[in-house]
């Protein structure tokens, strides 16, 4: 069993974001003491992975999944009802919004501690490079998840609690830079066997994941910064991903699949037809992700299904990325650059894929695309494929905005554009901007 993070940063109730993270405990070693030891750095690196997979990831998938209609509230808890209603009914004190914010800033802080302290602790260079690459990657993933939910955000935590807010386009650009740092570091100094055996969680493909996230964030940064150089960078990174290799967040009896947990206790349930009006009859992915049910959600009475896919067991791993995302990133880049034939080819690689051709068993088994090939039509088809291929991957909220689906005040497909900033952040950080109207 690999070491777990017992010593710092996992105490419930920490106030994270622009706020001060230093809450002393006289019965524990000081942060500086822990972070000047090899064992302390190792434990923090393992704990970072476990905290993200077991705690932060849940909000990135389910909170945004509720806002983009992938899931329905299946409980009368007020926070879930507010999140499902969206619009002006979602207050800044909503517990799910606060959790989305605070958990991801805890990831950013933990990654930052590794980036600051790992270079000063004696260890093998290949172990240090792995730890630093891991920290760069997880900080990028946390920034990416936050930028998909909030219009502006701090790019780092700050000790005085007064971190400046930046446009989310800058957060995506920062995520690109972090992934590039991670990639380049591993090229210069490959990881050691010690890092692989003692620190990296089982099943997580670090190199492949860095390229996949670099592709994702370069696409988003390119779209929102209107920068074709970034779009081409997304294409280069996507082409570097090995689509036959898997990379997963693993779970066990102690760190359980958090999406399964929330659905199994009836807080959430999958919406009928994956929650999109664009689903196609005969799409094999419907049966991969859900099982038919005649049930209606409580209290809103939406048609819901039973969960399948990666979320029907407490110990089932969740993929860090899916091969279909990489093909659809390439399709979107080609469509935005006017390379229509290439875009259609990538779309068809996803549409016609059979389950046996996918390392996770995801297959649409649909006929090739035969619709119009204007850029707008291709982007709509890419959105359709992303809805089915990437269900509950924490992406639809961002996809819905970027690919011009109906949003507020029409609440059918997306009930918010961005979340309000947590009241706790506004109370402590004078730089907090006004909340977006929707």
Alpha-carbon Rg for the chain in angstroms: 21
Spans of all domains in the chain: 13-237+409-438, 282-319+323-389
Region 28-32 average pLDDT: 53
Predicted pLDDT at 34: 78
DSSP one-letter code for 319: E
Query: Taking 70 as the threshold, does the pLDDT of residue 17 lie above it?
Result: no
Please say whether the beta carbons of 28 and 7 come within 8 A. yes
Query: Taking 60 as the threshold, does the pLDDT of residue 8 lie above it?
Result: no
CA 218 to CA 37: how far, in whole Å? 35
Predicted pLDDT at 21: 36
Predicted pLDDT at 188: 98
Give the pLDDT band of residue 33 (cuts 50, 70, 90).
low
CA 220 to CA 148: how far, in whole Å? 10
Region 144-166 average pLDDT: 97
CA 191 to CA 291: how far, in whole Å? 42
Predicted pLDDT at 32: 61
Predicted pLDDT at 92: 97
Question: Which of 6-20, 170-184, 343-357 shows the lowest per-residue confidence on average (mean pLDDT)?
Answer: 6-20
For the stretch 324-361, pLDDT in tens is: 999 999 999 999 999 999 999 999 999 999 999 999 99
Give the pLDDT band of residue 10 (cuts 50, 70, 90).
very low
Query: Taking 60 as the threshold, does the pLDDT of residue 25 lie above it?
Result: no
Region 96-101 average pLDDT: 98
pTM: 0.94
Query: Taking 80 as the threshold, does the pLDDT of residue 16 lie above it?
Result: no
What's the chain's length in residues?
438
Please say whether the beta carbons of 111 and 129 come within 8 A. no
CA 416 to CA 90: how far, in whole Å? 9
Structure tokens at 172: 């995506």
Which one, of 203, 193, 182, 195, lies nearest residue 38 by Cα? 195
Query: Taking 60 as the threshold, does the pLDDT of residue 26 lie above it?
Result: no
Give the pLDDT band of residue 185 (cuts 50, 70, 90).
very high
Which one, of 147, 150, 151, 118, lies nearest residue 40 by Cα? 118
Query: Taking 50 as the threshold, does the pLDDT of residue 298 lie above it?
Result: yes
Q: What percent of the chain has pLDDT over 90?
A: 91
* Residue 104 vs residues 21, 79, 140, 147, 153: alpha-carbon distances, Å: 13, 19, 10, 11, 11
For the stretch 39-83, pLDDT in tens is: 999 999 999 999 999 999 999 999 999 999 999 999 999 999 999
Find out if CATH 1.25.40.390 is the number for domain 13-237+409-438: yes
Give the pLDDT band of residue 165 (cuts 50, 70, 90).
very high
Which one, of 15, 195, 41, lies nearest residue 119 by Cα? 41
Q: What percent of the chain has pLDDT over 70?
A: 92
Which one, of 241, 405, 407, lies nearest residue 329 by Cα? 241
Predicted pLDDT at 436: 97
């Amino acid at each position: 069993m690999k070491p777990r993070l017992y010593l710092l940063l996992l105490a419930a109730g920490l106030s994270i974001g622009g706020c001060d993270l230093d809450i002393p405990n006289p019965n524990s070693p000081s942060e500086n003491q822990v972070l000047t030891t090899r064992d302390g750095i190792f434990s923090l690196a393992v704990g970072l992975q476990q905290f993200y997979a077991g705690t932060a990831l849940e909000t990135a998938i389910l909170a945004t999944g509720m806002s983009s209609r992938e899931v329905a509230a299946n409980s009368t808890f007020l926070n879930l009802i507010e999140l499902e209603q969206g619009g002006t009914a979602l207050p800044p004190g909503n517990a799910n919004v606060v959790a989305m914010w605070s958990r991801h800033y805890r990831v950013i802080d933990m990654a930052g501690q590794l980036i600051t302290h790992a270079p000063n602790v004696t260890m093998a260079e290949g172990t240090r490079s792995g730890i630093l690459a891991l920290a760069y990657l997880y900080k990028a993933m946390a920034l990416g998840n936050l930028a998909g939910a909030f219009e502006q955000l701090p790019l780092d935590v700050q000790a005085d609690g007064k971190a400046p807010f930046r446009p989310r386009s800058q957060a995506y650009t920062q995520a690109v830079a972090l992934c590039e740092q991670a990639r380049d570091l591993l090229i210069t100094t490959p990881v050691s066997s010690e890092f692989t055996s003692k620190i990296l969680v089982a099943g997580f493909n670090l190199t492949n994941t860095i390229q996949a996230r670099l592709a994702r964030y370069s696409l988003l940064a390119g779209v929102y910064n209107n920068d074709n150089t970034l779009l081409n960078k997304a294409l280069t990174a996507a082409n570097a991903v090995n689509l036959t290799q898997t990379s997963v967040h693993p779970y066990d009896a102690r760190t359980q699949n958090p999406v399964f947990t929330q659905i199994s206790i009836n807080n959430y349930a999958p919406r009928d037809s994956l929650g999109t009006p664009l689903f196609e009859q005969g799409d094999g992915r419907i049966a991969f992700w859900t099982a038919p049910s005649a049930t209606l959600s409580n209290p809103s009475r939406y048609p819901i299904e039973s969960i399948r896919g990666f979320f029907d067991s407490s110990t089932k791993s969740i993929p860090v990325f899916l091969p279909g995302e990489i093909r659809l990133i390439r399709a979107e880049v080609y469509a935005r650059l006017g390379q229509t034939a290439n875009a259609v080819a990538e779309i068809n690689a996803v549409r016609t894929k059979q389950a046996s051709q996918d390392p996770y068993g995801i297959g649409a088994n649909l006929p090739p695309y035969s619709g119009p090939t204007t850029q707008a039509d291709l982007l709509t088809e890419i959105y359709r494929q992303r809805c089915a291929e990437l269900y509950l991957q924490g992406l639809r909220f961002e996809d819905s905005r970027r690919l011009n689906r109906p949003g507020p005040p029409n609440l059918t497909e997306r009930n918010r554009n961005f979340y309000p900033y947590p009241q706790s952040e506004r109370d402590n950080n004078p730089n907090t901007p006004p909340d977006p109207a929707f």
